[in-house]
Amino acid sequence: NLKGETKALGAFTYDSMGKKLRFRSNETFPTNTSLSLDLLMFFEEGIFYEIDSQNQSCENKALQCTMHPLDIPDDGKFKGMVQTGNPSI
């Protein structure tokens, strides 16, 4: 139930050979609270780890998706090109 402006910063790295993805986010809310999220996903094994750097711990969980989020579906068709971000970088 947060009101006001929410700022979030996140980044992911992807290992296409190992089919692994790491997502890190650090969100700051107007109530002077923050939420850190660090996930390491192993798609071949069907598990992911939620990492808590502050407590130096991690929790092993099952992935609930049946399709890799970066895969193209077998019935996918090319519709056009899309570019995100700044083209000069």
- Domain for residue 49, yes or no? yes
Answer for the pair 2, 31: CB distance below 8 angstroms, yes or no.
yes
pLDDT at position 65, please?
A: 75
> Does residue 83 sit within a domain?
no
Domain assignment of residue 53, given as a range: 10-62
- The pLDDT, as a whole number, for residue 1 is 43
User: In this predicted structure, what is the pLDDT of residue 73?
Assistant: 77
Domain assignment of residue 35, yes or no: yes
Residue 81 lies in a domain: no
Nearest CA to 68 out of 87, 45, 88, 50 is that of 45
Nearest to 37 by CA among 48, 47, 51: 51
On the question of pLDDT at 3 being above 70, the answer is no
| pLDDT the model gives residue 20 | 87
pLDDT tens per residue, range 11-70: 888 887 888 889 888 766 566 666 677 889 888 888 999 888 878 899 999 988 766 767
* Sequence letter at residue 72: I
Report which of 38, 45, 37 is spatially closest to residue 18, judged by C-alpha positions: 45
